[in-house]
Amino acid sequence: MPLILRTPHGELSFFSTTTVFGTPVDITLSELAIEALFPADDATADALRALSQSRR
């Protein structure tokens, strides 16, 4: 699922992945899911690197 955000730092594009843990019969893990967002292009990756450097 693509996600595009308009920010003061420009337009940032991400793609997401979802990982679901457990099996249908394992009640303890049936609701555990992790969604991760990754930069979808070089401009977004560069903007995120610049932002992380400015916060140090």
- Give pLDDT tens digits for 36-51: 999 999 999 999 999 9
Structural domain count of the chain: 1
Q: Are 50 and 15 in contact (CB under 8 A)?
A: no
- Which residues are bridge partners to 38 per DSSP? 15
Please state the pTM of the whole predicted model: 0.70
Residue span of the structural domain in which 42 resides: 2-54
Mean pLDDT of the chain: 85
Q: How many CB atoms lie within 10 A of CB 37?
A: 14
- Maximal CA-CA distance, the chain: 47
